[in-house]
Amino acid sequence: MKTLLPILLGALAMVLLAVGQTMPDNATLEKLAKGQKEEGLSCTPCHSLRLVHSQRLSKATWTKELDKMVGWGCKIQDRDNLMEYLMTYFGDDKPAIPPVLSKDGMPRKGQ
Amino acid sequence: MPFTRRNLFATLASAAVTSQIAKAADDPVAIPGKRPMILHNDRPEDLETPVRYFDSWITPIEVFFVRQHLPRPAAIDNDAYRLTVNGMVSKPQELTLADLRKLPQVTVPATLECTGNGRAFYTPKVPGIQWGRGAIGNAEWRGPRVSDVLKLVGVDAAAAFIETNGADSPVASTPDFVRSLPMAKAMHPSTILALSMNGQTPAIHGFPVRLIVPGWDGTSSVKWVVRISAQAQASSGFFMNPGYRYPKYSLPPGTPARPAELEVIEGMPVKSSITAPEDQSKAPIGPVEIRGFAWAGENAIERVEVSTDGGGRWRDAQLSPQKLPFAWRMFSFEWHPSDPGYYTVMSRATDTAGRVQPIVSPWNPSGYLWNAIDRVGVTVEKSV
């Protein structure tokens, strides 16, 4: 556990930096974890999560997006926690993420 | 919550798990056949061209942007490929690739731009892929004219649209990607079923057969075309309504669309983008080459002006020779900043119809047609 602690502390610091607020309590973290699980279940059958994580939307706009996805056959079981998670990390008051580049997909010379 | 050792570990563990899952979901991947691209989505592929690659009139396929609405269809066998042409025609047919190759082949240089290119610049933020400057590229497309295909099947004079469907199919209950094109544009001599792009046939870009509707928004140029139907009415599917529509009357930013007042997007506006220097970059004092591209939908580019003082003074940029409808022109301007400091560099295009890029691109709920005067910030530093 002693070797794990610095890693865990680092991870927590990253999460807190991303969230930009003081340390959330256990209940909030549990909701966020549930929201994240719901994101995986609801969204990934049709698209990668990058599409979600690159957006910064208001609650009203995320609500409309979820409604659109439900209309397209998405079955969301735990909508409250999903919304909490989306607003915590991808709300319109959160900073935009810097562009992520794909790795080079060209064949290497000699291949 | 009482602060105990156990609580601390539970919190840390939970946070670590959250962080790891988020990281795994966002790990970059390689897209076969593509250089490093701005990765908006990898399944399906939504890839933006980093501006540093925009240094040639023809955009190489290995850096050409990709926008997929639905997962790519399985690889299409050229021998098994059939194009169904039906609807209001006297001789419905199933055409092979060989049939399409027998028709006169034309080469059309044309810029293809995603309708939402520049969406990330709108405030307030709108949903959709947060494209910057790079959901655009210029290629040489080659194949038969749609008008020749329609002649072959005896299209009815009363048909007002062609409806085009690609081989990509819906997931869950998403709508299929089906688009309608007014007959006048379908019959235009530059509207083609492209069988190649820069001499190649990359599946990721819709080959063996894709529609090219020059000067119109990219979404009109349906990929992996397997059916063309001549019809009296436009398709009413999602990707025609409400998808890819633009407010007839401008809306206050942040307000919802009025569905009855949304119109199908057709020709693209006049636009220029600065590709060098990059936004928030540094340059040593001395000559700095300002570069970019400009295009104007169905018109040609007449002029591009550059400002290096935030729009106070404008000077003409040099333009590449291709003054064509549909295709972009590259521009360049040699700038000699005399003092170090932070500069706002801007570009403004004018087209052959006299349209000029506006200072403000009208906000719209889907973030389409961004074409405001482009601007980048550059810090000029004293030579060391």
Question: Over the stretch B270-310, which tens digit does the pLDDT of each residue have?
Answer: 999 999 999 999 999 999 999 999 999 999 999 999 999 99
pLDDT band at residue A6 under the 50/70/90 scheme: low
* ipTM for this model: 0.88
What strands, in cross-sheet order, belong to the sheet with B178-182? B93-95, B83-87, B225-231, B161-166, B178-182
pLDDT band at residue B17 under the 50/70/90 scheme: very low
Amino acid identity for residue B31 in this structure:
I
The shortest C-alpha distance from A78 to chain B (Å) reads: 17
Task: Provide mean pLDDT across the span A39-43.
Answer: 96
Size of interface A-B (CB pairs under 8 A): 147
pTM comes to 0.90
Q: Is the pLDDT of residue A99 over 70?
A: yes
Amino acid identity for residue A6 in this structure:
P
Residue-level pLDDT at B160: 98
Contacts of A72 in chain B (CB under 8 A): 172-175
Which residue is closest to B125 within chain A, CA to CA?
A57
Candidates B19, B63, B364: best to mutate against A (most CBs of A within 10 A) is B19
Please tell me whether residue B11 adopts helix, strand or coil conformation.
Answer: helix
Contacts of A23 in chain B (CB under 8 A): 11
Residue-level pLDDT at A4: 59
- List the Cα angle B88/B261/B131 in 5-degree steps: 90
Q: Is the pLDDT of residue B187 over 60?
A: yes
Distance CA A68, CA A52 (A): 14
The shortest C-alpha distance from B317 to chain A (Å) reads: 29
Residues of chain B with pLDDT > 70: what percent? 93
- Interchain proximity A92–B124, CB inside 8 Å: yes
| Beta carbons of B335 and B259 less than 8 angstroms apart | no
Question: Over the stretch B355-377, which tens digit does the pLDDT of each residue have?
Answer: 999 999 999 999 999 999 999 99
| Backbone torsions φ then ψ of B239, nearest 5 degrees | -75, 0
